[in-house]
Structure 1
Amino acid sequence: MGKTVSVILFYLALSALCLPIPALSNECPRISTSEADTKIKTLANDIRYHNQLYYEKAQPEISDAEYDRLFAALVHMESCFPALVASDSPTRQVGSDVSAGSKKVAHEKPMLSLSSASGPQAVEQLLRRLGSGETVSLLVQPKVDGVPVELIYVAGKLVSAATRGDGRFGEDVTGRVRDIGGILLQLSATFPERVVVRGEMYADLPLMQKYNLAHPTANYASPRHLVAGVLQSRIPDPAALAVLRLFPFELVTIDLPGDQVRTDREALNKLSEWGFTVDSAHTHPVQSFSDIQAIYRSYLAGRDQQPFAMDGIVVKVDDLMQRQRTGEGERAPFWAAAWKFPPESARTQVIKILWTVGRTGRRTPVAEIIPVRLGGAQVSRISLHSPEKITWLDIAAGDQIVVGLVGDVIPQVLEVVGRSARYSGSGAVRQEAPEQALDVCLSDSPGCRQQFLAKAYFFASKSGLTVSGLGRTRLKKLVEAGLVTDLPSLFMLQEEAVAAVPGFSRASAKRIITSLHLASHSEPFKIVTALGIAGVGTKTVQRLNLQFSSFDELLNADKERLKTLSARDARAVQTMQRFFHSAGGADLLTKIRDLGMLPVRSGGVR
């Protein structure tokens, strides 16, 4: 944990000197409008992709700091080329946690995100924005790591609960929230006819620890994931519901008859009078950066002693009228900012480099390490993502490394701090994965079993065609029984044959066959996505769906047509063309079309 201390000291040293952590240059790049447009679109698409992983799937791939740098780069490019800012730019929207098909609830007013940074920059910018002409009263609260919700009470009774969603509409979670012990169902004392309250739904850490001991099969990567999982579950586990609590942070309705609320502190006191659990020890009045810095240090040093997970502090204007004068942006208010904590890290050693098979069938390097504890969990393996990452890190067996958590969840190698001897036979020499063709292992064979299973699993998963009842274990049994030899053969399965395989019943076989029948009528863009072509994800296919009138037009697009696309989309089209024009890809396409899927001139990738 020595590295953790050094990282913390580094941040605090910068803060003590009032120096910002290195940021983007203020100078605009000297590039053409076309190049700027491509850069902006690429950054925007990257951010949308990571928003989807974070908000919808709870599976972040990058750290908060890396996300902040991407977002800052997009803000900078848009400020340099304002004519190129798209109406749906991520800088104008809030990442959405609303799952597909769920009921939506309109918010009382936009429920925005926060300007934040893994350093003091966002807070310093807030202080500069507020100016030095007058003394400004500020409040500091912990940045609780959970799921923000909005609660609406009418005549004192809870009538609606919704997640933040896209800021305008959230997912209706009223039914689930009513069963949470930490949620107030009836207000007490004297209250107005309509009350709207916002807060962070979080997992009480001591209760979560007991829950995990009693439910060892529960697979929640972090406290925030437990909250998100429970709120999105149609039939949540009562024991998991009992773990949840609310950290109220805003009274949205402030027009109280006969009693004027002028500050946020007064509003929080009102919430306490009405029965909400409001811990005044976590609301700190401040007036200077040094005050904020002291509280940041205190929370950073004692974050493990809190009853909730937290990833920083929130600084906000206390005076409500001043908030109105300061205003709000399309994505975040101008009267508040967050100062995030540095990632938790530890030092360890690489035992060996392994190679696993990912969803596209490509081999992925994984570092097996001497186990360390991060975020309350033991970490023994860390994905290195690609051969290029091995080269960039120059990592091998025997190396001393520093590992940290991406998004407080996913372990990642941060740096190599000590290298072992690189000599043949030592086990410390890097082994490169052989370059593989796009159409490798599209069918089962002795040398392709593992890779084909990975492709088939992705094809049938929620990220693919969502075939109910067909998980990794059952797929493996069908492949070993010789019933599934390639992806199209899934749609030729017979109920009797499936039911005869050990581990299947007549009912489960019928459910799978019915689900496969429904999947065979999926929209073409879903079918293409489910094939798991390397470098061609869901968002990319959806964009291409809007730019081509048919799937065949995409396959036959020439260089002139590709010039009308962004560089990223053009590369994706070329990748798809190479795949479907390869021997294996062409054979796969023929078999899929023989099943009536992806018909010629079907309306295309739609």
Structure 2
Amino acid sequence: MGLWKSIVLALLFCHLRAGAACPAWSADRANEEMSRLQQQITQWDDSYWQQGVSVVDDGIYDQLNAQLRQWQRCFGGDSQTDLSAPPISGSILHPVPHTGVRKLADKQAVQQWMQTRSDLWVQPKVDGVAVTLVYRDGNLIKAISRGNGLKGEDWTQKVLQMPSIPRTVRGLLANSTLQGEIFLQQDGHIQQKKGGINARSKVAGMMMRQHTPELLRSLNIFIWAWPDGPAVMSERLEQLTAAGFSFAQRYTQAVKNADDVEHARVRWWTSALPFVTDGVVVRSGKEPQARYWVPGQGDWLAAWKYPPVAQVSEVTDIQFSVGKSGKIAVVAMLEPVMLDDKRVQRVNIGSVRRWNEWDIAPGDHILISLAGQGIPRIDEVVWRSTQRTKPKPPEGRFNSMTCFYATPGCYEQFIARLVWLGAKEVLELEGIGEAGWRELHQAYRFEHIFSWLGLTQEQIQSTLGVSKGEKIWHQFNLSRHLPFTRWVIAMGIPLTQVTLNASRDDSWQQLQDRDEQSWRQLPSMGGQRTRRVIQWLEDREITALSNWLAAQRIAGFMP
């Protein structure tokens, strides 16, 4: 699938998630969950805005913030407060308010937004912290943090220590107000590969801390607004560049439609840039006069964000499976999310011990990303539900010598053995997978892992359908003519293929005739493996299976 399609799918699915069903909670439970999460976000905000310390990744914060808002919409809580905004502690009035930027969900939304506007331009959405610069008589006299959009903190002394920001300007800029993003300079940052690297929090930390001139030198600014500046965008950009604000002109381009925006978005997502980005901003060159700018009312610009590298998802269930060797695997079922172009609704946790270490229960929220080969993995547990009920793993002791027979409690390992023996390297039973084995077992209650050899063509067709049943019947018959070693492997003999080939044994009797010394002479046969093979050969169930195969006239098992 093309890269642009991957992005569209991811953003579309994220948009669809926004309308996810509300949790089936009581009012008390809902209030408890919302109150606890809101308290946590408030603590993160205090650390971030008052101390300049980020204790949680930006992406996790944003997604949990969105989760809280969804719960508030579901249960009637106060969803108007912008928890991601700094506390209203700033006392310095912005000459021109920060409007903020509307976020669009997908390409279609971008196209619809663009239809009623003209003179459109696209820029990277630089990830940092917003600031106002005030120039009077050519001198930088004030730098104000975004704050609540109307008032902010005085950052003048910090900004004056940044060599990248001009202290003096000329011409129309001599008496101007500029808005932009202070960002952490990067050397060839590729957003698609490196993600957000917590850039926003790092910049905020530098601006909050005292006595950090060496850190401030690593910061720069992207000017994205010049209220009441030149009416023509190209002239605005030229004058900004001439004054020393070069990034805006270099990374602003005219666009006519959503295709143009999409191409720029993909290019900036996959190219080396001097800053971290989290999407693109489309803006009209025609802006209202500055006196009409109001927080939350900037309808002449909109953002189209990138798909996140990692997603927070709610665990809906914990499921267990037993493999053919008896190992219990734990899987977390998830509220579906999109990662790249993959729809992820389950993630492997690992063993029961690993699950206990993670301490994951339904209702918890986990951060997942894609590992090598696009396999979903758990990065961390980001939020635990207030009411947590963890299911119990399957009871009983499972190992490589259990569940050859369909006894009570053996269902999952028994099915796993059937699936494995049908693999290409074992009995090569093409056309039947786990679902097919479950159907046949449910219909005919297999006694052991080779009971399917006793099914008739009519029985298989009545369960799996005429066409598929005929093919499976054919595969079952072909398996009867496979070499003896294939059947021994299907029985789970604890030998490597190399050792089995080296033995040159082609009958059950030859295997039984070997003593310990004879086994030890074969390659890769230490004392422990030798004892396991002898134990396997002497096992009552294995002996019974060999007798069944002999009765079915499988080569190598008949006396």
Bin of the TM-score, shorter chain as denominator length: 0.3 to 0.5
Structure index of larger Rg: 2
TM-score, scaled to structure 1:
0.45
